[in-house]
Amino acid sequence: MYASLDQSRNNPSPAPLMHTDHDFPASPISSLAGEILLEIGRVEVLEILDVLSCSLVCRRWNEVFGTLTKQFPNFSHLKLVGDYEEFTEDWIEEDWNAAHEYARRLMGLLAESKRMGLNHRNKVQSIQLNLRDMFDWLSTSVHLPEMEDFFVSVFSIGFPNLKSIHLEYTLIPSGELPLDRIRLFLARILPFCNTVDELMVIDRDEDLEDASDLQNPRHFIKEFVQGLSRNLTVLILSCHKLDSGLEEALKNCRNLSDITFEEMNSDDVTRCIQHWPNLRSLGMRLSEQPSDELLLKIGANLPNLCELHIHGSKLHPGPKVLVELLGRCNRLRELILTDMDSVDDTVLGVIAGTCRNLKNLWLSNSERLTGLNLPSVSIHWQKMERLYLDGCSNVEASFVGNVVANSLNISELKLPRHLEQNGELRQMLVRSSFRCTKKQFGSEYWEKVVGGENGQGI
C-alpha cells in the first residue's frame, strides 16, 4: 500500500528527486540553456507533478521551472482522497490506488521542497481527506495502518497557513468505522492544526436513514472539535447526534461565526445556537422540518446574523413564525429560503420592510409567492445584487420589474421558466442591460452586461 513520507523517498518516481546543495556536475543535460528547459516545460510533455519535480532538481532548474507556476498543482487545496462519486463499480480499486498514488507523490515533493528551504508548503490553505481511506475499501473493519501513517506524515510536513480541514467519511453495509482508531488518528494530527479555523465533517453515505444511531461514527469528532475550539470560526457538521461531550466542545468554540448543520435533529440545533450570540452566518438543511421553537430562538438569540440559509421541506413552519423570525433579522445581507411553502407575499413584505441591507435573496420553489401585494415604493433593496426565484411558479413579472427598477446594483437574476413568455419583462431587462446567459432546469439566468451593452442573449 502506501508508506509514510520518510519511507516514500525510497520508492521509484517518474521524475526522481535529487539533493540540491549544488548544481549538477557538468553534463549535457545540466548545461541545457534555460530557454530549452522552459520549452520542455511548456510543450506539456511533462505531467503536472513532473514540472514540480524538475523545479526541485537544483537551484538553477528551480529558477527556470519555477516560472511555470500555471503548470504547478494547486497547492492551496490538497485533496488526499479520490472522488468516490466518480469511481465506477468495476474500477473502484484501480481508481482509488491511482488517486492516492498521485497524493503520495505530491506530498513527497512538498516534503522535499521543505527540505530545500522553498515555500511551496506555505501556499497550502486546506486539506481534504476521507477517513474511510484508512480502512480496506471492501470492509471498514480492516484497518490500513500504512494509510493512517501516510495521512499523519502529510500533516507533519507543517503548513503554516493551513486554515481548513475537510473530513469526509462514507459507510458501507458491511460495518461501521472503528471509532477508537479514528479518534487516535485525529489526536495524532491535532498538534499540526494550530492555525486551523475552519472544519467540515461531511457524511457521504446517501443511504443513511437513522442519524440518531449511537453506534454510528458521528461521535468521533468531539475531542477534535475541542482541540480546535480556541481558533475555530467556521464549522460544518453533517449527520451528527448531539451528546453532552459534543455540546460542551461546541460551547467552547466561542469565536464561532459561521456554522452549517446538515441532516441533524431540530432539537439538537436548538440547544446549540444559544451558545453563539455573535454568530453571523447560519445554514440549516435538517433531517426534519425546522421547529417553530428553533426559528423563534434564532430570531431572539442571534441579533448579529448577516447570512441565513434554511433549506426546508414543503411543510411548515407557518408564515407567522417566519414573519416573527425575519422581523428581527434586520442585519441580513444574504437570505436563502428553499423548498418552504410558507414563504408567501406576507413573508416577502416583511423581508422587503426589514431586511433592507440584503445583497443576495434566494427564494427557490416558493410556489405561494406572487409579489402582487408588494408595491414598488416598499422595495428598499438598494444594495441588492442577486435575486433568485427559480421554481417560484406563480411569481409575477411586475414584481421582478419593480425589483430591477428600484435596485440599481442588481446584477444577477434567476427566474422561473414561465416568465420566459413575458415579452414586456424581457424587453425591460434588455433595456436595463441584462442578458439571458443560460437556460437550465426550468430556470433562466440573467446577468447585467458590463459596460451596459444591450443584447438578447440566448
Q: Rounded mean pLDDT of 159-175? A: 78
Structure confidence by residue, pLDDT tens digits, 384-412:
999 999 999 999 999 999 999 988 899 99
Structure confidence by residue, pLDDT tens digits, 310-338:
987 655 556 788 888 998 988 999 999 99
Structure confidence by residue, pLDDT tens digits, 52-82:
887 787 777 777 777 766 656 677 888 886 5
Distance of CA 197 to the CA centre of its chain: 14
Return the amino acid letter for 357. N
Check residue 197 and give its pLDDT: 96
Check residue 70 and give its pLDDT: 63
Joined grid coordinates for residue 325: 423570525
Most distant CA atoms of the chain, gap in Å: 83
Check residue 373 and give its pLDDT: 79
Q: Which of 166, 81, 165, 162 is nearest to 124 (CA)?
A: 162
Mean pLDDT score across all residues of the chain: 80
Q: Which of 39-48, 200-209, 385-394 has the lowest mean pLDDT?
A: 39-48
Cβ-in-10-Å burial (0-12, 13-18, 19+) of 294 comes to: buried
Structure confidence by residue, pLDDT tens digits, 288-316:
778 889 999 999 999 899 999 998 765 55
Does the pLDDT of residue 217 top 60, yes or no?
Answer: no
Torsion of CA 161, 164, 165, 166, to 10 degrees: -140
Question: Model pTM?
Answer: 0.81
Contacts of 374 by beta carbon, 8 Å cutoff, 6+ apart = 345, 348, 349, 352, 399, 402
Q: Which of 30-44, 306-320, 436-450 has the lowest mean pLDDT?
A: 30-44
The CB density around residue 43, as the number of other CB atoms within 10 Å, is 8
Q: Quickly state the pLDDT bin for 371 (edges 50, 70, 90).
A: very high
Size (the chain), residues: 458
Query: Is residue 4 within 8 Å of residue 40, measured between CB atoms?
Result: no
Looking at 265-359, which runs of residues are DSSP E strands?
281-285, 307-311, 334-338
Q: Quickly state the pLDDT bin for 202 (edges 50, 70, 90).
A: confident
Distance of CA 160 to the CA centre of its chain: 21
Query: Is residue 123 within 8 Å of residue 161, measured between CB atoms?
Result: yes
Cβ-in-10-Å burial (0-12, 13-18, 19+) of 360 comes to: middle
Q: Quickly state the pLDDT bin for 126 (edges 50, 70, 90).
A: very high
For the chain, what is the radius of gyration of the CA atoms? 26
Check residue 213 and give its pLDDT: 44
Check residue 361 and give its pLDDT: 97
Q: What share of the chain is helix, strand, coil (3-state, %, to 5)?
A: 35, 15, 45
Does the pLDDT of residue 222 top 60, yes or no?
Answer: yes
The CATH architecture assigned to 257-452 reads: Alpha-Beta Horseshoe (3.80)
Return the amino acid letter for 385. E
Does the pLDDT of residue 454 top 70, yes or no?
Answer: no
Check residue 403 and give its pLDDT: 93
182 or 306: whose pLDDT is higher? 306
Check residue 24 and give its pLDDT: 40
241 or 454: whose pLDDT is higher? 241
Does the pLDDT of residue 267 top 70, yes or no?
Answer: yes
Does the pLDDT of residue 108 top 80, yes or no?
Answer: yes
Check residue 140 and give its pLDDT: 57
Structural domain spans, the chain: 33-72, 257-452
Does the pLDDT of residue 1 top 70, yes or no?
Answer: no
Check residue 95 and give its pLDDT: 67
Q: Which of 391, 379, 412 is nearest to 337 (CA)?
A: 391
Check residue 120 and give its pLDDT: 86
Structure confidence by residue, pLDDT tens digits, 127-166:
998 888 887 766 556 888 988 999 999 999 999 999 999 9
Does the pLDDT of residue 43 top 70, yes or no?
Answer: no
Check residue 309 and give its pLDDT: 96
Q: Quickly state the pLDDT bin for 13 (edges 50, 70, 90).
A: very low
